[in-house]
A and B are shown apart, each in its own frame.
Chain A
Amino acid sequence: MRVSSILFAVVVLILVISFLSIWFYPSVQDFMASNVMWNGINNFSSEFSADDIDSLDALPVLPGQAVLVAIPYLEYSQEELSRVKRFVDGGGTLLLMDDYGYGNSVLAYLGVDIRFTNKPLLDPLFSYKNQWMPRITDFALKVKESGIEVIMLNHATSLTNVVASETIAWSSSASFLDINENGSWEEGEPKGPLAVATELRLGQGRLALVSDPSIMINTMVGRDDNYKFIRYLTGDEGEQKEVMVDGSHLTKAPLDVSRTRLIGVRGALSSPYALLGIIAVIFVAVSRYTLKKGETIG
């Protein structure tokens, strides 16, 4: 066998193994729908039948029954912000969940005064295991009526410039905002109760803000009343809406990027023209090969 043939076979083998690995190896990146580990949102996606969208182009034209879950860990472009605004103005629900990301740029574009403080919200008393996982027990009446008693956050922040009537959840009076991030309260640091969730009408749609996206991850979604709370946020008068998770603004590992591209390529190749082209290429390639080799193969 010639060296070129061996090299060719090795390259093909490597490619095949790579593709299979990319396709089947589970993601370990935060908030990835394909991540079944503790920090993924596979459970959330399954429970809420959420669509993982990799581009805001996939937003529906008539978003009245849609909820876009946005975790802005990557900055939004002006065009993307414009799409998000159109989505909300058109009647969609934007559930913006952020702690230390770019949520404020989205809020600024939407013309909302509320901001994420982007500083850790700590609660040394009402928490799970340690102060970084505060438990929220103060809710607006309508939230309480939904059967929500306590939710658990994980490395959360808080909201500022909120309107009391729009706020739906507050941290306890034992909590504080760790401005200097030294893990303990010091003079001048805001003390609880601090707003952690709010919802307001915006255009024809609704904007819901939660100061911690981690309530969605696999290990958190089932804790306390987190599941009910998410259902409340993604529903409308008890009716569950169509949930879409914006995966395009999450930090991704190379594996996730490759998988995304592979999925994109698969999608592109499944179009009729592409299929036809593939058949043609195979046909022509093998025909040429046959012509070169002689008359027949095999």
Chain B
Amino acid sequence: MMLHGNLRKRIAGAVTCVAILFMVSPSVFAAEPHEDPEIARLEFGGVSLFRYYSASLDFVLRKEPAEVEARLEKIPFANIPQSLEGATDNFAASSIGISHLVVEIAEDLDRLRVLGGQFRLGEAVEQAAPTFARLSQAYRELNHLEQATEITGEELKVSSAPAGSDLRRSYDEVLERIDRIREMLALHEELLESTGLNLEELLESTGLNLEELLKSTGLNLEIRPIVAFVGDNIRFEGVLTSEKRPLAGREVDILINGSRYVTSKTDAYGHYQGRLQVPYWYMPELDLQALYYPRGKDVGLYLASLSPVRKLKVLFYEAELGVTVEDKAYPGLETTITGRFDYGQSPSLNERKAEIYFDDVFITEVVAQEAFVQEIVIDPDADVGEHVITVSAAARERYAPVVASAILNVARATPILDLGIPRVALIPGSIGLGGKLYSEVGPLSEALIKMGLGKSQVELLSSEDGAFDTRIGVGMGLGVIGSQDLVIQVLPQEPWHFPLVITRTVVLVNVVNCGGILAILIFFGIYLPGRLGGRLGVYPRRRVIPVEVIARPQIVPTYSDSTIVPSLTEGEGQGRGEPRNRIFYRYRLVVRLVQRITRALLAPHQTLREFAYEGSRVLGPAAKYFIELTEMVERLLYSQYSPTEGDVGKSKQLSGDIEKEPKSEVTMQSLLPRQLRGEGTVAQFEPNELSVVGGARAFELGGRVSTTSTWRQLSTWLWVLLILAVAYYACILLFVLPLLLASLAYCLPLVIVDDSNERGIKAMTKEELKGEGV
């Protein structure tokens, strides 16, 4: 219960802390960053729609149809209920329609005003008809507009909205705009009528016909010759009459293609004449007319008159101009434009000026004969792609102007990088990077080259011939062996070169880390097995079949590294000592023997008993004798007990048993047993007597029977794991060797060509061919 109580308190405390944390933690957001559109609530307010309508109609009133169109074409993207879509579409269509009609009507009125002012009533009547039609059309559109607005108002229940509400006000504003448009149309209608152009109604109201109201006039025109070159002079003449009487001293305008060209005055006979130069309008035919309209005192007395049209056939020389450009031009570089004039049967011009334009921008002027060649510099900021080169030769006297164009493909050259880069590099150190930058145009001089390898970066400029040479340092890292991207960014200073970014892969070998790992592997693979193997006793657990180990001890006294091992028998002076000392001496000999067998040393912190128990794990049946001897020694060491000769005898017996016991299991190598038997006080181990260890190992395993399968032991699997790890890293290192060798070899230069553009062009061509069914 107590525990539960504490738990509840802790949980409550944690929840409180979390809650406080949430409350006090500052929120970045003043507003929600987003909402799920799928479940967002649908909201529509008619106010904004009506206001948008009003603003659009304001542009109708301002006679800005383009703005009206731009605004209302976006209506499909508005958030409008489905029920209103039809009405809004109608509103948009009608508004756009009426905006154009209003402008056209205004222009018509201006034109009519001019015609009326000149008493060109016939023409004015002709002009008035379509204007009236436009007015009617505008009224119809306005009605549709109003209807669409009313439908929208009904859908949005404007009528039920309070009088001063935004909805009601915005709706009323739209209707107000519609009324203003209607007023504007009405005004136009009135203007149309007030100009007196609705002659039929006028004459009807007065009961007079047109001739009775104003005196009509008659005018004719003759020209000679009727075929002439541009610039030539022709004669014109005619007579102005009214009611068969000449009108003297009146100005008659000669119109060419509807525009006033020259003015002549009638003489006392109403005759007018003159010469005019055929304008340098290089068109095959011109329409000439004579126009009289009342001016001054004639206003209100005479009607205007227009002569019949006379056709003048115009002659001029034409030439064809052929322009050719290079397949490719580069920003900032010159390109050659060639051209040739072909005059056909016409006489050629000795010199002719021609202007050259690049995308309608004047570049230069060239004085050409029949052919010309001109170098032009492409704007360094020109975009890549197709541009139009236009050559325009102005008209010169009888020679008509000629214009020809050609498509010039402006491109940037893709740099090519000849890069000498080692495929393998060592860490720590630096990589030598050298090479040359060039393109189809030429070398990239003083191009900024940035190279990055991991965190290392180097910047340099290429030389005049595009060559460069540098080194990039490679810093230390945790990696052993691996590839790393070498990013090279080239920023040419010439505008005709593309920037280049390429990535190459370099195999990096971290020799420090490799060495470290090798050291660790050696530690794992050599030291630990020996160390842990001894401690774990991970030797075969099966009984060892006794093997006769034939040892041939050869006494070679000259060995300097001989080891002195005292015999277990009392040596000189020892046999006559105190029993206590004799027992200790014998024990020391046994301990040395045990140490050699177990390969374990008596540690300073270790008691004799601990050592005995530790050693007993590998001593086998002899262990009990060794433990008994150890206990005897401990008794002598840690008590007041004085040993007797009997104890000495027992210790001798035990040491003898330690010697004898293994004999039944394994044949020991000769020397130690010999020493145990006391054969000689001093003996020497020969080098091959190291096999004693093997014999001792056999001795130590002699009495132990494995009760567990090898593969069921964890230690076995640990060894497998260790071996696999060693093998893994060894493989890595072995893999490195060839690479290391390769790195020593001369590094072949690597040519990097970024042909992505060409590939793109090829792909496009392929697509085009496909499209053409080729």
Contacts and interface: CB of A to CB of B under 8 A. Distances in A.
A217 B37 CA distance: 11
A62 B33 CA distance: 33
A133 B489 CA distance: 41
Q: Is the interface of A mostly helix, strand, loop or mixed?
A: loop
Contacts of A296: 708, 713-715
Interface stretch (A4-12, A255-263, A272-280): A272-280
Contact of B520 (A124, A132, A204, A276): A276
A187 interface: no
B450 A128 contact: no
A62 B34 contact: no
B45 interface: yes
A201 interface: no
A173 interface: yes
Contact of B79 (A120, A126, A150, A213): A126
Given A155-B31, A181-B31, A291-B536, A219 B718 contact: no
Contacts of A172: 74
Interface stretch (B47-55, B226-234, B682-690, B743-751): B47-55
Interface size class of B (residues with CB under 8 A): 35 or more
Interface in A51-93: 60-62, 64-65, 73-74, 90-91
B35 interface: yes
B715 A101 contact: no
Contact of A133 (B40, B457, B499, B532): B40
Interface in B13-34: 28-34
Nearest to A272: B480
Contacts of A214: 33-34
A146 interface: no
A181 B29 CA distance: 13
A62 B452 contact: yes
A220 interface: yes
A39 to B, nearest CB: 7
Given A125-B79, A133-B37, A279 B722 contact: yes
A251 B35 CA distance: 17
Contacts of A272: 478-480, 513, 517, 729
A126 B42 contact: no
Contacts of B37: 128-129, 133, 152, 154, 219-220, 223
B515 to A, nearest CB: 12
Interface string A209-226: 000011001011001000
Majority secondary structure of chain B interface residues (helix, strand, loop or mixed): mixed
B552 interface: no
Interface in B77-119: 77-79
A38 to B, nearest CB: 5
A100 B71 contact: no
A297 interface: yes
B370 to A, nearest CB: 41
A273 B513 contact: yes
B354 to A, nearest CB: 32
Nearest to B486: A62
A129 B43 CA distance: 6
Given A154-B35, A283-B718, A287-B718, A129 B41 contact: yes
B35 A132 contact: yes
Contact of B487 (A61, A127, A213): A61
Contact of B30 (A100, A128, A219, A279): A100
Interface of A: 30, 38-39, 60-62, 64-65, 73-74, 90-91, 99-102, 118, 120, 124-133, 135, 137, 150, 152, 154-155, 172-174, 181, 204, 213-214, 217, 219-220, 223, 237, 251, 271-273, 276, 279-280, 282-283, 286-287, 290-291, 295-298
7 contacts: A38-B36, A61-B455, A173-B55, A174-B51, A174-B52, A223-B37, A272-B480
Given A61-B456, A129-B43, 15 more contacts: A61-B455, A62-B452, A64-B450, A101-B29, A128-B79, A129-B79, A133-B35, A173-B55, A223-B37, A272-B480, A273-B478, A283-B528, A283-B721, A297-B713, A297-B714
Interface of B: 28-38, 40-43, 45, 47-49, 51-52, 55, 71, 74, 77-79, 384, 450-452, 454-457, 478-480, 487-489, 491, 499, 501, 513, 516-517, 520, 524, 528, 532, 535-537, 617, 708, 712-715, 718, 721-722, 725, 729
